[in-house]
A and B are shown apart, each in its own frame.
Chain A
Amino acid sequence: MNSLPLTLAQDAGLLEKLFFGGAGASPLAHYTDQVFLWILYFCIFWFVLLMGLMFYWVVKYRRRPGVPPQRSAHHNTRLELVWTIVPSVFLGAMFYFGFQGYITKLVSPTNAEVIDITGQKWDWVATYKNGVNPQEKVEIGGNTSAPVIIVPVGRPVQFRMTSIDVLHSFWIPDFRFKFDVMPNRYTSFWIEAEEPGDHWIFCAEYCGDRHSEMSAILRAVPADEYDATLARWWNETGALTPAQRGQRIATGMGGCIACHSINGSPGVGPTWKDAWGVEVALADGTKIPADDEAAWMNYVIESIRKPSAQIHAGFPSPSPMPLYNFTDEELGYLAAYIKSLSSKYAAPAETPAETPAEQN
């Protein structure tokens, strides 16, 4: 941060409060506010000057009957050069300070804590450095809940982001930064929280119906609490059965249950309730036989990898299902979860995902 050439305000001034609702949550956010306010002063100066002259002349030279306009120069090269060059110098300064702040926020320190962010319609999923993605949610009023993403205070955190469907944008207003989240591409930026506290995260790139509900909470916690929480999540998830792991994928980062119901109600895709091992007619006339474990594994896993390869009769073709890059292990967990929803085979999985939320 020492490379930044501006003095940093510690407390929010009046204008900063007016525009941003309060001080930023990191040194780089303060820097952005400073740049913004400097530009604002520049704008106010020119605006007042121009509008002042305009109103003054409109009144002073208002039309009076019989009074002609007065002669004056039709152009003035020296004046025109001055009013071209002077603002240009200021614009050059804006570019420079803007570049500094941008590049500092984008290029993260090599020792940063990496958190993987997956954007999807309409949810954010964080996967931490030890591989856990706990998908804790908090109620944010009414029936809506938002995922909580925790970051350690005082430690640089790099978000490594990708999307599984359309464009999203990961915006943390209190940190004055966002970056687009795209399918089949990783983007990143970094932050460093100064104090513990909650901050909003919004999706800033239009992504369909529930775009405005695609928010999350960024919770800055003390570094030791952060480490302890990650360790606790690791211990809890270590004890999960394959079906429980599958459930976490289906309800969390996979987002499967948005289209595949688990209670038998109709959805965009076939329900998973009591589906496993029941004969299925495909759109091309072939059938997936009942109670054939191998045939069902092949059918389910191929349908996740290539959603349009085998269309369940009565469902749209090509399949509207997005492409997921699940690992072989994750595919196995999902299959186990779907099977566990079938009363023919097993009782539904426990819901261990609740546990960490309660303890927090």
Chain B
Amino acid sequence: MTTIPTPHDHGHHEGSYLTPPKGGFFAAVIQWATTVDHKKLGVMYTVAVLSLFMVGGLAALLVRVELWEPTRVVLNEAGEAVTTGQFFQLGKTPAENYTWYNRFFTIHGAIMVFLVIVPGVPATLGNFLLPLMLGAKDVAFPRLNLLSWYIYCTGALFAILSLINTGVDTGWTFYAPYSSSHAANTYNNVVLMTTAAFILGFSSILTGLNFIVTIHKLRCPGMGWFDMPLFVWAMYATSIIQVLATPVIGITLLLLIFERIFHVGIFDPAMGGDPVLFQHFFWFYSHPVVYVMILPGMGIASEMIAVHARKPIFGYRAIAFASLGIAGVGFLVWGHHMFTAMGELASTIFSALTFFVAIPTAVKVFNWIATLYKGSIAFNTPMLYALTFLFLFSIGGLTGLPLATLATDMHLHDSYFVVAHFHYVMMGGTIIAFIGGLHHWWPKITGKMYTEWVGMTGCIMVFIGFNVTFFTQFFLGTQGMPRRYASYIDEFQTLHQISTVGSMILGAGMFVQLGNFLHSIVAGKKAPPNPWGGLSLEWYADSPPSEHNFHHEPILTHGPYDYEDVYPPHCDPADFPLPEPLPAGAKHH
């Protein structure tokens, strides 16, 4: 283990990647704007993704506040329909209120899916960490990486243009024929929004391609496939899906744009199209992409749990293969989004296949929890997030079962039960893991420590707020509340109000986290290279890492999770004691 050179072996000290260039502000701007450094690109993506996360989150809060009360309509003296006694509404008349509600939930969904969760982890932490974890200087195609970034920016620009042009009210799923022939298309906002998603797809494909080649070709000497951290495995599985599935959504959205502009009858039966075809195309991409969203979250959870419990991940190979298994079977289950729209045979087959994808996911959760056994478990913000992830993701996974079961899905489909379920998976899984990962690698990325008690407080607020918001929605769904309703029958009001209160706590928790990060950048303590005692290669680099990550190409001599046998680099061995060494000749199980 001593053969891994540490930054201080050579006495000289290269500047970190954050060291500003000579020449002042504009030189720095140009340096960042033209950088091919995976770390700088990762940081820029992080800023963009978090900003858009805030926009999407505020749209969600508006939606929740509108749902505080049902829209009660009365006639005024002039005989016009107006709302009455509403605490908050998005428009003066019921019609305006509905229109704006529909736009806001679409903004929320489209931003969160296409601009935040799908690109989120791979583009931010993935970009930053993948080469570091592999012991490489950069990704395989650094210039392509820069191109991905600008494609992402272009896509985001189109999405924002579409929002400024009065927004889109189709829902993020753009179901035809509503989106192709019926939704209002002022200033071509629908075309702009679908173009945005189309462009963002290219960014996903190029990033995925880059990662696949990097993982195949740039592992440092001594690193076999099963010596890679599980985060890298997760990135690998994610990238495969991105490269294979994203072209389908590109084609689909292009067809939608053709139908919208040139009235080619593909999806709208009024022009000779097929009313369900769009859903097949859409979910053929968007279901695999559910795994693009969750696999990186699982990867982050694996890292955080192993480091903070100081244990090798239980069943490392099972988790690695489960990632690939999920990526494979994930292509075969898209039909479960359409149980209420397909024939009996198709629904039956897709229901059975859906249960298959449940198994590798369950196996992963068992492995993470088994990893805690006999560990040395630290209690800090990243670990708190990892536990929150396990708690919320377990609920998200288990509530998928009645949705995969045909008889119960026919009731729960398109209800708030589904809304709650996928928020537990997408937010309780991916976003929680992402924020946890940001805390975990924050010292590495910025070279600063965040304030621990504030981080924990924020995490607890998020945990409470999240559950109050979304657990109530399971009951709303089973009792009959449909999705995407601007108004509802009076019976549902209490549950809606509880949910809205929860969303405020959740939002406040998020702002606590943001404040903590900003404070740390301005006034945080300097971070040591390895604050958690991690063993994967990123912890061998400086905090923040130097321009070229490592001063010498690392040579791997131990696995990423050999916490029972290897002292972590840059750490005082007394802080991270090891158990008795195994007797000579004894083997690990």
Chain A residues proximal to chain B, CB less than 8 Å = 18-21, 31-32, 35-36, 39-40, 42-43, 46-47, 50-51, 53-54, 57-58, 61-76, 79-80, 83-84, 87-88, 91-92, 94-95, 97-103, 105-107, 121, 140-144, 165-167, 169, 171, 173-174, 176-180, 182-185, 187, 200, 202-213, 215, 318, 320, 322-323
Q: How far is the CB of A276 from chain B (nearest CB, A)?
A: 26
**Given A21-B479, A169-B414, A206-B171: A105 and B182 within 8 A (CB)?**
no
On whether A206 and B483 interact (CB within 8 A), knowing A58-B387, A167-B175, the answer reads: yes
Assess A182 versus B480: contact at CB under 8 Å? Given A57-B375, A206-B171, A323-B270.
no
Q: In the complex, what distance in Å separates the CA atom of A187 from the CA atom of B344?
A: 11
Contacts of B574 in A (CB 8 A): 66
Which of A53, A62, A176, A178 meets B377, CB within 8 Å? A62
A215-B490 Cα distance, complex, nearest whole Å:
14
Closest chain B residue to A87, Cβ basis: B362
Which residues of chain B are within 8 angstroms of A18 by Cβ–Cβ distance?
475
Q: Give every chain A residue within 8 A of B362 (Cβ-Cβ).
A: 83, 87
> Is B406 at the interface (CB under 8 A from chain A)?
yes
Q: Which residues of A are found within 8 Å of B563, using beta-carbon distances?
A: 69
Contacts of A106 in B (CB 8 A): 344
| Also in contact, A171 and B482, with CB within 8 A (given A83-B366, A91-B355) | yes
Q: Is the CB of B577 within 8 A of A67?
A: yes
- Residues of B bordering A, CB below 8 Å: 71-75, 81, 84, 95, 98-99, 102, 169-171, 175, 177-178, 181-183, 263, 268-270, 275-276, 309-312, 314-318, 339-341, 344, 347-348, 351-352, 355, 358-359, 362-363, 365-366, 369-370, 372-379, 387, 390-391, 394-395, 398-399, 401-402, 404-411, 413-415, 474-475, 478-480, 482-491, 563-564, 574-580, 582, 588-589
Query: Are the CB atoms of B72 and A142 closer together than 8 Å?
Result: yes
Chain B residue at minimal CB-CB distance from A83? B366
Which residues of the other chain, A, contact B415 by a CB distance below 8 angstroms? 171, 204
| Contact between B182 and A208, CB atoms less than 8 A apart | yes
Bound CA span A202–B487, Å:
12
- Verify B269–A63 contact, CB threshold 8 A: no
**What CA separation (Å) do A182 and B267 show in the bound complex?**
12
Kindly list chain B residues whose C-beta atoms are within 8 Å of the C-beta of A32. Answer: 407-408, 410-411
Report whether B74 and A142 are in contact in the complex, using a CB–CB cutoff of 8 Å.
yes
CB-defined contacts of A87 to chain B, threshold 8 Å: 358-359, 362
| Of the residues A46, A68, A179, A215, contact of B340 by C-beta under 8 Å | A179
Q: Is the CB of B410 within 8 A of A61?
A: no
Q: Which residue of A lies closest to B578 (CB)?
A: A68
Tell me the nearest residue of chain A to B311, going by C-beta.
A69
Which residues of chain A are near B366, meaning CB under 8 Å?
A: 50, 80, 83
The answer to whether B407 and A95 touch across the interface, beta carbons within 8 angstroms, is: no
Take A47-B395, A176-B410 as given contacts and tell me if A209 and B404 are in contact as well, using a CB distance cutoff of 8 Å. Answer: no
Question: Are B363 and A42 touching (Cβ within 8 A)?
Answer: no
Q: Is A143 in contact with B374, judged by CB distance below 8 angstroms?
A: no
Point out the residues of chain B lying under 8 angstroms from A39, CB to CB.
401-402, 405, 408
Contact B486 A97 (CB under 8 A): no
Chain A residues whose C-beta falls within 8 Å of the C-beta of B169 in the assembled complex: 208-209
Q: Is A166 in contact with B375, judged by CB distance below 8 angstroms? A: no
Q: Collect the chain A residues with CB atoms within 8 Å of residue B348's CB.
A: 99, 102-103
Other-chain residue from A20, A169, A180 in contact with B478 (beta carbon distance below 8 A)? A20
Q: How far is A91 from B363 in the complex, measured between Cα atoms in Å?
A: 14
Contact between chains at B564 and A102 (CB < 8 Å): no
Contact B413 A80 (CB under 8 A): no
User: Given the complex of chains A and B, what is the CA–CA distance between A57 and B394 in angstroms?
Assistant: 17
A165 and B376 contacting across the interface, CB-CB below 8 Å: no
Candidates B84, B175, B182, B411; contact of A205 at CB < 8 Å: B175
Beta-carbon contact of A74 and B312 below 8 Å: yes
Instruction: State whether A72 and B374 are in contact (beta carbons under 8 Å apart), knowing that A50-B369, A94-B405, A167-B178 are contacts in the complex.
Output: yes
- For B406, the chain A residues whose CB sits under 8 A away are 98-99, 101-103
A243–B475 Cα distance when bound, in Å, is: 48
Question: Given A69-B579, A177-B411, A213-B487 in contact, is the A167-B177 Cβ separation under 8 Å?
Answer: yes
A47 to B355, CA, bound (A): 18
Q: A76-B589, A80-B363, A203-B482 are in contact. Are A209 and B95 (CB under 8 A)?
A: yes
Chain A residues within an 8 Å CB radius of B74: 142-143
Give Cα A256 to B556, complex, Å: 74
Q: Are B365 and A97 in contact (CB under 8 A)?
A: no
| B589–A209 CB distance below 8 A | no
**A-side contacts of B182, CB under 8 Å:** 121, 165-166, 208, 320
Contacts of A142 in B (CB 8 A): 72-74, 84
5 pairs across A/B with beta carbons < 8 Å? A54-B372, A142-B73, A165-B177, A178-B411, A202-B485
Contact B318 A100 (CB under 8 A): no
Inter-chain contacts of A36 with B (CB < 8 A): 402, 408, 411, 478
Instruction: Enumerate chain B residues within 8 angstroms of A95, measured Cβ to Cβ.
Output: 351-352, 355, 404-405
CA distance A208 to B359 in the complex (A): 37
Q: Looking at B171, B275, B365, B580, which has the most chain A CB atoms within 10 Å of its CB?
A: B275
Chain A, residue nearest B355 (CB): A91
A98 with B407: CB separation less than 8 A = yes
In whole angstroms, how far apart are the Cα atoms of A44 and B397 in the complex? 12
Name the residue in B73, B81, B391, B480 with the highest tally of chain A Cβ atoms < 10 Å from its Cβ. Answer: B480
How far does the Cβ of A172 sit from chain B's closest Cβ, in whole Å?
Answer: 9
| Residue in chain A with minimal CB distance to B340 | A180
Looking at the complex, which one of A31, A54, A180, A210 makes contact with B369 (CB distance below 8 Å)? A54
Within the assembled complex, what's the spacing in Å between the Cα atoms of A167 and B279?
Answer: 11
B95, B170, B391, B482 — most chain A CB neighbours (10 Å): B482
Q: Report A-chain residues with C-beta under 8 Å of the C-beta of B489.
A: 140, 200, 215
**Extra A-B contacts (19), CB below 8 Å, given A50-B369, A71-B374, A144-B73:** A18-B475, A19-B475, A21-B480, A32-B411, A39-B405, A50-B390, A68-B310, A94-B404, A95-B355, A101-B408, A103-B348, A105-B410, A143-B74, A169-B414, A171-B414, A173-B480, A209-B98, A211-B485, A211-B486
Q: Nearest CB to that of B565 among chain A residues?
A: A71
Output the nearest chain A residue to B576 by Cβ-Cβ distance: A68
**Closest A residue to B378 using CB positions:** A63
Distance to closest chain B CB from A161 (angstroms): 11
* B576 surroundings in chain A (CB, below 8 A): 68
Of B84, B98, B408, the contact of A210 (CB 8 Å cutoff): B98
Contacts of A144 in B (CB 8 A): 73
CB distance from A151 to the nearest CB of B (A): 18
| Contacting residue for A43 out of B183, B311, B399, B478, CB 8 A | B399
Cα distance A173–B408 in the bound complex, in angstroms:
11
Known interface pairs A91-B355, A143-B73, A212-B487; A83-B363 also in contact (CB < 8 Å): yes
Nearest CB in chain A: distance from B83 CB, A: 9
**B480 and A42 contact, CB distance less than 8 A:** no
Smallest CB gap from A185: residue in B: B275
Q: Quick one: which of A53, A69, A100 contacts B309, CB cutoff 8 A?
A: A69
Q: Shortest distance in angstroms between A26's beta carbon and chain B's nearest beta carbon?
A: 12
CA distance A47 to B474 in the complex (A): 16
Give the top 7 A-B pairs by smallest Cβ distance, nearest first: A101-B407, A173-B480, A184-B269, A98-B405, A102-B406, A212-B485, A176-B411
State in angstroms the CA–CA spacing of A41 and B475 once bound together.
16
Is the CB–CB distance between B379 and A105 below 8 Å?
A: no
Contact (Cβ within 8 A) B483 A105: no
**What is the CB-to-nearest-CB distance from A104 to chain B, in angstroms, rounded to a whole number?**
8
A31 & B407 in contact (Cβ 8 Å cutoff): yes
Q: What is the bound-complex CA distance between A317 and B330, given in angstroms?
A: 43
Chain B proximity of A165: nearest CB distance (Å): 7
Determine how close the nearest CB of chain B comes to the CB of A139; give it in whole angstroms: 11
In-complex Cβ contact of A75 among B175, B314, B578 (8 A): B314
- A46 touching B398 by the CB < 8 A rule? yes
B483: A residues at CB distance < 8 A: 204, 206
Query: Do B318 and A80 touch (CB < 8 A)?
Result: yes
- Bound-state Cα–Cα, A54 to B582, Å: 27
A183 adjacent to B177 (CB under 8 Å): yes
Pick from B275, B410, B485: contact of A177, CB below 8 A: B410
Contact A70 B579, CB 8 Å, known A43-B401, A204-B483, A323-B270: yes
